[in-house]
Amino acid sequence: MSEQEIKVPDLGGADEVEVIEILVSKGDSVEEEDPILTVESDKASVELPSPGAGKITKITVKVGDKVKEGDVVGMMEASGDAGGSDDEKDTKEAGFSKSVKPDLKSEGKAKKEPAPKKNTGFRLVTAKVPALDGLEHVPIIEINVNEGDEVGVDDPLVTVESDKATMEIPSPYAGAVGKILVSEGERISEGHELVEMTIVEDNGQGEEIGWEDTCSEPPESSISDKQEGKAETERNSEEPKPAQPSATHEPPTPGAKIHAGPAVRKLAREFGADLARIKGSGPKFRIIKDDVQAFVKSQLRQDGTVAGDSGSSIPGVKLPDFSQFGEVKREAMSRMMFATANNMQRSWLNVPHVTQFEDADITDMEDFRKAQKAAGEKKGVKMTPLPFLLKACATALAELPQFNVSLDMERKEVVRKQFIHIGIAVDTPNGLMVPVIRDVDKKGLWELAAESAELAQKARDKQLKPAETQGACFTITSLGGIGGTAFTPIVNTPEVAILGVSKAAMKPVWDGKGFQPRLMLPLSLSYDHRAVNGVDGGKLISLIGDLLGDLRRLLL
């Protein structure tokens, strides 16, 4: 192992560039060509790659430093034979310039466009790709304009990215963007037609400022400078200079310029993160890798999809090596199991749960239900306790509409639903599913019996359509056919309450004179204590109990 200097390679003509991002830290292992720093001239940002494979021992520059060709920016311990001879080292140090050599001095400047013939009035021209300093077939990563946009000379039309640099292709004309002739991902080289534009001419003195006509050199100040200044002013007026990487995001601003290097853009693409929604915490509000990572993490937390992350700063559960205790087998979770696990965790962590219990006297209800057996056989529908529970819950929700809501905490609003759709938890071989019965309040017991049986069967057969699992206001989870005396169900967010039903049992009930044998159905109502208070919880569960105890009340 030998230590070697990491030097700034040939910068393709730029005298001095600014370090805008340091992509490695002391102790990091890197491969040859791995990006070490991002530097930026006034025209382009470029990553300086590692001259070889090894371990970084020191970085001697900081963000904001100006560097030029030959400057030492760090040290590394080369692995393998990366130490090599001095000649070899020099070659590797110059690896950047040997692979792709974007011209940091003139990058993005369009070659003089042949002057379109001048006529008076409007004229259609086609903006083409200028010389790209040796680069060919570079992919377009962003189209910066839309049809109908007014652009000025040098405004960026598209952004392309080689494996080392990101650059904007500026417009050679001022005018209105017409048909866009390229698409994102398309690879372009010099001469490729980008967009059609309508330019205005006024007896040959019009707004067209084709470089050939007006400048012997392309315009001095590039659009990057102009737009960066504009973006900076806008952002400065919104907030003070950022200090920490920030995961905050805003709705995309159409046409806003994004400042990010190639590695950051690549990372964002890999995560599917929209750079327009990420605030940069780097110099000049440049988006750095930390910003992308923080943004992605915050998005996943919002979706509740960070595996092993509680989403509430509570450390995840650490697993021991189970094999030390005996033989184990591992198997992949099904997608449904993983989704259910995340939903449960999200609900448990977001919702302050309270559970209240009640025993409903269903002796009369069961007599009535059993009396329907023959009628059910005729109809081909089995009448279980579930339709009664559905009907009782719908009636109770109509009477206590404070339970038929969802909370929009972001907008500080309560969403009051003007419909009563109820989900039923169904145990399937693939896991828990919750099909939804719509407009329960408008349906009769037979209809509810038929529909719940059909949806439960569809759930077990994996035949449910997405729409059949959406839109519930409330959920019933019945373990009555299985057993148990009570349980505390987890609210199925964004609903605010759920009714758990356990197994009915004969119990001695005091009627004021003596104990009577009654069939009692244990109910557990869990609710979101942000949305409803304990008094309401008590009212709802008592009401459901009363309705089940005396079915005539369902008619009132």
Interface residues toward ligand CAO, by CB under 6 A? 384-386, 424-427, 432, 456, 477-481, 501, 503-504, 521
Give me the residue label for tokens 């021992």: 57
Beta carbons of 110 and 170 less than 8 angstroms apart: yes
Q: Which is nearer to ligand CAO, 196 or 427 (CB)?
A: 427
Q: Which is nearer to ligand CAO, 176 or 432 (CB)?
A: 432
Nearest to 135 by CA among 192, 68, 91, 50: 192
Mention every residue, 6+ apart, whose C-beta is less than 8 A from residue 487. 479, 500, 502, 524
Q: Which is nearer to ligand CAO, 210 or 423 (CB)?
A: 423
Angle, vertex CA 285, rays to CA 282 and CA 287, nearest 5: 60
Beta carbons of 276 and 257 less than 8 angstroms apart: no
Q: Which is nearer to ligand CAO, 114 or 481 (CB)?
A: 481
Nearest to 228 by CA among 305, 285, 161, 190: 285
Mention every residue, 6+ apart, whose C-beta is less than 8 A from residue 373. 383
Q: Which is nearer to ligand CAO, 139 or 376 (CB)?
A: 376
Q: Which is nearer to ligand CAO, 405 or 433 (CB)?
A: 433
Nearest to 37 by CA among 4, 74, 3, 70: 74
In whole angstroms, the minimum distance from the beta carbon of 477 to ligand CAO comes to: 4
In whole angstroms, the minimum distance from the beta carbon of 39 to ligand CAO comes to: 56
Q: Which is nearer to ligand CAO, 396 or 501 (CB)?
A: 501
* Type of residue found at 195: V
In whole angstroms, the minimum distance from the beta carbon of 462 to ligand CAO comes to: 15
- Rounded to whole angstroms, the Cα distance separating 349 from 544 reads 27
In whole angstroms, the minimum distance from the beta carbon of 422 to ligand CAO comes to: 12
Mention every residue, 6+ apart, whose C-beta is less than 8 A from residue 122. 198, 199, 200, 201
Nearest to 348 by CA among 317, 307, 315, 304: 304
- Strand ranges in 181-279 using DSSP code E only, listed in sequence order: 187-188, 193-201
In whole angstroms, the minimum distance from the beta carbon of 499 to ligand CAO comes to: 11
Beta carbons of 554 and 392 less than 8 angstroms apart: yes
User: For this structure, is 259 an active site residue?
Assistant: no
- Rounded to whole angstroms, the Cα distance separating 287 from 294 reads 11
Q: What is the CA radius of gyration of the chain?
A: 34
- Rounded to whole angstroms, the Cα distance separating 481 from 424 reads 14
User: How do 72-78 and 353-361 pair as beta strands?
Assistant: unpaired
- Rounded to whole angstroms, the Cα distance separating 146 from 226 reads 19
Q: Which residues are catalytic?
A: 529
